[in-house]
Amino acid sequence: MSETFQEANHERNHGPVTVVVPGDLHLTTRGRENYEAALCVVNDVNKLIRPDFVQFIGDNVQDATKEQFRLFTEITELLDVPHFVLVGDHDVCGDPDATRFRELIGEPYGSTVLKGFRFARLNTLEIPPLGLSDSQMWWLRNEFEAGIEQRERMVLFQHHYPHKVCENFAGPGVSQWRECVNSYRPTAVVCGHTHYGQIANDGQNVAIAARSIGDPEGGPPGYLAMYLEDDDFAVTFRAVEDNGPLVLITHPRDVLLATDPRHVVRCDDDIRVRVWSDSAVARLVASIDDGAFIDLKSVAEAAWTAPLDRADLAKGEHRINVEAHLRDGRSGNQQLSFFVDGTGRYTAVPAARPIVRTTAFC
């Protein structure tokens, strides 16, 4: 292997791709809070975001019964966009070979190529309670190599989060997984399993855990909205109780998601934002470091932009705040920190958000 994904794809121009990742559903019966939350996610997918696909992140049901899997299927059949499903530890409860999952849902791992991105889905329960077989690791390396050959960026989806507090990310095949991920360096590793939500940057790779829908910790249930285009990668969490516009800053890149010099601002640039709303946007504004607001212009459906003047920004971290105001009076916003270095040098500093030190689920 002579190139990482980041090196191989420097000049590639593809996307955008939008993905919705609901938290672990833990479905049991109709009418419970997690069932109603799942229906809210379906409604947002169909009527608000209309993503390229939905990725369910595992623990789709609680006890792996046929009745629970049928309930999950009833929900997925309501989606107007494609969807894919990971297997989680609750999906193999009493069924370590995932026989019922295969019968009622499908194969536990696979991949999809879309707009210059290769999305690989892993089965981290292949050797319970956590492990991957030699054959699955061989398949994953081939996926990475195929992506490099086709100049595609890689995103990994897997149930187990490698930085979960109070739990070791260890088992058969995990050392090979670490070697593979650290060598090829995908755009992100997107996970479930934790019940709390978190983004972690270890200085080389970004891992993201979606907050659980069943028994959520740290806030209300909801889903991740992800945006990918060329070197741009953006993600935000939306709670099912939110009803305003969904605002996502797609450029500049959140410093917590930055792992490479191409992920920082080096020269005059643009602010780019996606806004998904069920009502017309009256005004979209942005401010840098609590400065004066500037107006963004609509350039395409849901896409807004404004110039970002590098000369006004000193080397280091800066804060951007974007607010969307709808004609019906509702509003929404997103804030993030980004990094500026005119020399183009950047080394990621390991960090996580939010800091989590304990969990009721381990």
Question: How many CA within 13 A on the CB side of residue 10?
Answer: 7
The CATH code for residues 263-342 is: 2.60.40.10
- Give per-residue pLDDT as tens, 148-182: 999 999 999 999 999 999 999 999 999 999 999 99
Res. 286: pLDDT tops 80:
yes
- Average of pLDDT values for 234-253? 97
Report residue 122 as tokens. Answer: 């892993």
- Give per-residue pLDDT as tens, 31-90: 999 999 999 999 999 999 999 999 999 999 999 999 999 999 999 999 999 999 999 999
Token pair 């000049």 is found at: 11
- Average of pLDDT values for 103-124? 97
Contact 348, 297 (CB under 8 A): no
Res. 10: pLDDT tops 50:
no
Report residue 277 as tokens. Answer: 């709303």
Share of the chain above pLDDT 70, in %: 96
Share the mean pLDDT of the chain: 95
- Average of pLDDT values for 126-140? 97
Run of H or E including 143: helix 134-149
Report residue 242 as tokens. Answer: 């939110």
Three-state SS for 239?
Answer: strand
Predicted TM-score (pTM) of this structure? 0.95
Contact 190, 155 (CB under 8 A): yes
| Residue 66 CA, distance from chain mean position | 29
Contact 245, 328 (CB under 8 A): no
- Average of pLDDT values for 22-39? 98
Token pair 């992100």 is found at: 188
- Give per-residue pLDDT as tens, 288-347: 999 999 999 999 999 999 999 988 899 999 999 999 999 999 999 999 999 999 998 999
* CATH 3.60.21.10 domain span(s) along the chain: 5-242
Res. 4: pLDDT tops 80:
no
Share of the chain above pLDDT 90, in %: 94
* CATH 2.60.40.10 domain span(s) along the chain: 263-342
| Residue 26 CA, distance from chain mean position | 19
Res. 3: pLDDT tops 80:
no
Amino acid at 180: C
Of 309 and 6, the structure prediction assigns the larger pLDDT to 309
Per-residue model confidence (pLDDT) at position 12: 53
Backbone region of residue 261 per phi and psi (left: phi > 0; alpha: psi in -120 to 50; beta: other values): alpha
Per-residue model confidence (pLDDT) at position 14: 72
Nearest alpha-carbon partner for 232 in 116, 75, 77: 116
Per-residue model confidence (pLDDT) at position 2: 40
Query: Domain spanning 5-242: which superfamily?
Result: Metallo-dependent phosphatases (3.60.21.10)
Question: How many CA within 13 A on the CB side of residue 15?
Answer: 23
Contact 206, 163 (CB under 8 A): no
